[in-house]
A and B are shown apart, each in its own frame.
Chain A
């Protein structure tokens, strides 16, 4: 790896912590971002000459503070720190300065930085864009590409979202235990939104958008390093790893979705699966179940199955039932119905699905699953109606295509039956 690539990786991995500490110091997001930017430029000049510092985060915070102080000196309150040349040349001094940054504060700093992105007044897509820009430091151009909008439009959205959180005020007081837990919950949900934005991609944009999954996993690992004993953070990170592990098998050459049963499992990323399974295993020891852990456990059962027919559907059914209790939702019941169909047959599954019609009548997957069950029960005319409804509700060409394959199957089966009758 070239020196520049190493510095680049070091800067982007240090960014959340360094920026979060600068935000605490300057109490203003724009000033903090500018200071970090400044410190990064100095790192690019200084690190190749002096070698990378032992603690890049501390270096960037100190240099960033220095750089931002010129702006702030007008207020006359702040004193200057030594220039960065002496910071990385003089080992003792660096150690001394690093000690002045309270390590324990980092956790709350990073949580705060992530938390300001989840402002409830911001729609989910803005929260995601903001987190990618501020926390991950992705260039606006790349975020715009991932959201399939122009760069100028994305720039404007991010600027507006920032104005919103600035006017709302950033919560600087150290959170108490309850607030911390609430923030962690909100941040975990936002990280999973980032992940899903990438995971739901189809068509020609798969490669660009799946980069969002990588970012979300990095954020998950960051949270986990700061909160190593939180089983739900383990569950979230495991869930993302286990789902993203299937990435290369989830789309065909044209970017169309390949269903789980039809995926080439040799394309699954074994490294991610191993890490995901290890985290599920670790979380279970805490005996404090939660929605992310339950979903991760379901993904783990899929990941453990060498072939589709090895899948432990009975266990998956039980996990969905647990998830239903924790987070009642007709969509979860619909997912559970798929497991019930595999474990106990289509009849039992259909009994679970029919009552959902009131609430899921305009939901694509409801009609897709219903059609799939009716087809298995040989109720072809009703199945065709359900599939037609699904196609009319499809949100993308890929979804519609999925159903057309089912419809083709229906006609082929009917044709074969007619053939037999005639023969």
Chain B
């Protein structure tokens, strides 16, 4: 089964990392991802820009209303996600644990994927 592992972290803390800390963390994450890729289990990986770059759309009646900023003001922000093939939740939690060790201080949410279409099915 395909799992999405969502990485939440305090983005101002991540933004306060020194360049060395940032590079060290990315290197540790790359090592985890390489292991998963070698086993053929790693799907797309995304690192999102800070929520200051976000805009959110909501309908106000029939009119789309675009608000600057993320969907919700939260203590931790969604900073990125991984798609990983795992045989069960136990295995997915183990991947999340490895990602958390590489990138500590945040929360990794494990969510089973219901539908995945890397290429739109109608094409």
A→B interface (CB under 8 Å): 1, 5-6, 9-10, 12-14, 52, 54-56, 218, 221-222, 224-225, 228-229, 234, 237, 274-275, 278-279, 282, 285
8 A-B contact pairs sorted by A residue (CB < 8 Å): A1-B105, A6-B13, A9-B14, A9-B21, A10-B10, A10-B105, A221-B15, A285-B66
Q: Are B49 and A9 in contact (CB under 8 A)?
A: no
Q: Are B50 and A275 in contact (CB under 8 A)?
A: yes
Q: Is B37's beta carbon under 8 Å from chain A?
A: no
Query: Which A residues are in CB contact (< 8 Å) with B52?
Result: 221, 224-225, 228, 234, 237, 279
**Nearest B residue (CB) for A6:** B105
**Nearest A residue (CB) for B53:** A278
Task: Report B112 CB to chain A, min CB distance, Å.
Answer: 26
Query: Which A residues are in CB contact (< 8 Å) with B17?
Result: 1, 9
Within 8 A of A (CB), among B21-58: 21, 24-25, 49-53, 55
Q: Are A6 and B68 in contact (CB under 8 A)?
A: no
Query: Which A residues are in CB contact (< 8 Å) with B67?
Result: 229
Number of interface residues of B (CB under 8 A): 23
- Tell me the complex Cα distance, A221–B50, Å: 9
- B interface, by DSSP: helix, strand, loop or mixed? mixed
Q: Are B16 and A13 in contact (CB under 8 A)?
A: yes
- A interface, by DSSP: helix, strand, loop or mixed? helix
Q: Are B55 and A282 in contact (CB under 8 A)?
A: yes
Within 8 A of A (CB), among B1-17: 10, 12-17
- Tell me the complex Cα distance, A275–B49, Å: 6
**Nearest A residue (CB) for B51:** A225
Task: Report A176 CB to chain B, min CB distance, Å.
Answer: 22
- Indicate with 1 or 0, residue by residue over B96-115, a CB within 8 angstroms of chain A CB atoms: 00000000110000000000
Task: Report B108 CB to chain A, min CB distance, Å.
Answer: 16
Task: Report B68 CB to chain A, min CB distance, Å.
Answer: 4
Query: Which B residues are in CB contact (< 8 Å) with A229?
Result: 67-69
Q: Are A218 and B16 in contact (CB under 8 A)?
A: yes
Query: Which B residues are in CB contact (< 8 Å) with A10?
Result: 10, 13, 16, 105
Q: Are B24 and A282 in contact (CB under 8 A)?
A: no
**Nearest A residue (CB) for B103:** A1
Q: Is B75's beta carbon under 8 Å from chain A?
A: yes
Task: Report B116 CB to chain A, min CB distance, Å.
Answer: 25
Given contacts A1-B21, A9-B13, 4 further A-B contacts (CB under 8 A): A1-B104, A10-B105, A225-B52, A285-B66
- Tell me the complex Cα distance, A10–B12, Å: 8
Query: Which B residues are in CB contact (< 8 Å) with A237?
Result: 52
Task: Report A233 CB to chain B, min CB distance, Å.
Answer: 9
Q: State which of B16, B66, B68 has its C-beta within 8 Å of the C-beta of A12.
A: B16
